[in-house]
Chain A
């Protein structure tokens, strides 16, 4: 990242190549339209290119930073343009477009991690998973979700909190189990 701060185009290319797929995946999952997802990812990376003063490496990885920007920009787009159609494309539809599997060890590790998070998400009570997915992937505010589900706003926020807490515990437990199994095999 220091190189990008210095305007090193090659470093920027490396960062793009490393994180573009996951950024595009998130953007497409959120808005369900390729053109819009591309615009969001482009703006996210360009903001990184311009971010001399705003990116702080002590606060997280570049990947987290990029994903955070993608998420925020998608939400901004939703809320500023009333772009509601095509959001929340189904996982099945998106999975149908998956291409060849990744091959590097890092990607395999990432997919393992992603699988653990998916598993923990699926293990949540449906009402907690629902509000988390509507908020995170749908970009809806807690009030919009409350209106949609006919619930008090406080209940929606409470479900979000409980859901995230359980998700954290679930991911931690799953990771610990994987480490134990991995250690046992070695």
Chain B
């Protein structure tokens, strides 16, 4: 092969490319890292190779990261205080979830419309029970955007808890709906927003007995009789 020759400059120089590519085993890499501290020639060569190796990553065919991965990573980060974070932020918040300061407004129950089932049918619903206790269980809801939402059920009564959730669009408010088997979503009196940090919580009115899904949609500020948007949160009760 043209241009191929044995490296005769220095014994150590032969390891630079292998080190840059991650092709030394752990012991060799450790030894070479120590060598680098005292070898300016190798450091120079490594500095020259580093951007090239960095560019190699770009040659990988583009694969979009799954949306579920985003939710998982952000939730895991929220559950794990980072160095430098205010300890008080998590002092009383299991799993990194600080109780929100939001307070919601209430409105009378409204009647239903017929377009509901069509909208809801388009939603893929997956809810995962993430914890349980003697009388309380928490269901992680499916969300369509950034952030997380959980439904905490205690003795048949629910509380939705949102974390890092996007604010409703301007002029809109979030509305909670309950859906029973084979029925359209029924509006509730629960209308709510989130804080600037994306936190929010709201009690789900009434009993969840017989309820199949708890859903949230963005609606006009006064609420709506029928969903006018696809749900942004869906919690399925099993």
Contact = CB atoms under 8 A, between A and B. Distances in A.
A125 B28 CA distance: 27
A121 B76 CA distance: 37
Interface in B67-105: 69-70, 72-74, 76-78, 80-86
What is the interface of chain A mostly: helix, strand, loop, or mixed? helix
Interface residues of A, number: 81
Nearest to B13: A161
How many of chain B's residues touch chain A, expressed as a range?
A: 35 or more
Contacts of A60: 50, 54
A22 B69 contact: no
A118 B63 CA distance: 16
A164 B62 contact: no
Most buried by A among B4, B14, B62: B62
A28 B48 CA distance: 27
A97 B62 CA distance: 9
Contacts of A154: 6-7, 14
Contacts of A111: 62
Interface in A16-56: 16-17, 20-26, 28-30, 34, 37-38, 41-42, 45-46, 49-50, 52-53
A157 interface: yes
Can you list the 4 inter-chain pairs with the closest CB atoms, starting with the nearest?
A7-B85, A52-B83, A29-B60, A135-B23
7 contacts: A7-B84, A24-B69, A139-B22, A154-B6, A158-B14, A168-B48, A171-B52
